[in-house]
Amino acid sequence: MHKFKIVKAANDQFRVQFSYNSEIMVWSENYASKASARNCVDSIKKHAPDAAIVDLSQEETGTGYRFEIDKAKNGETFVRFRAANGEIMVRSETYSSKSSAKNCAESVRKNAPDAPVEDEA
Write the pLDDT tens digit of every residue in 42-71. Answer: 999 999 999 999 999 889 999 999 999 999
CA distance 24 to 65: 21
| Domain-wise residue ranges, the chain | 2-114
**Residue 121 pLDDT:** 83
CA distance 72 to 28: 17
pTM above 0.95, yes or no: no
Is 2-114 CATH 2.60.120.200?
no
Write the pLDDT tens digit of every residue in 91-114. Answer: 999 999 999 999 999 999 999 999
Q: In the 3-class helix/strand/coil scheme, how is 39-84 assigned residue by residue? A: HHHHHHHHHHHHCEEEEHHHCCCCCCCEEEEEECCCCCEEEEEECC
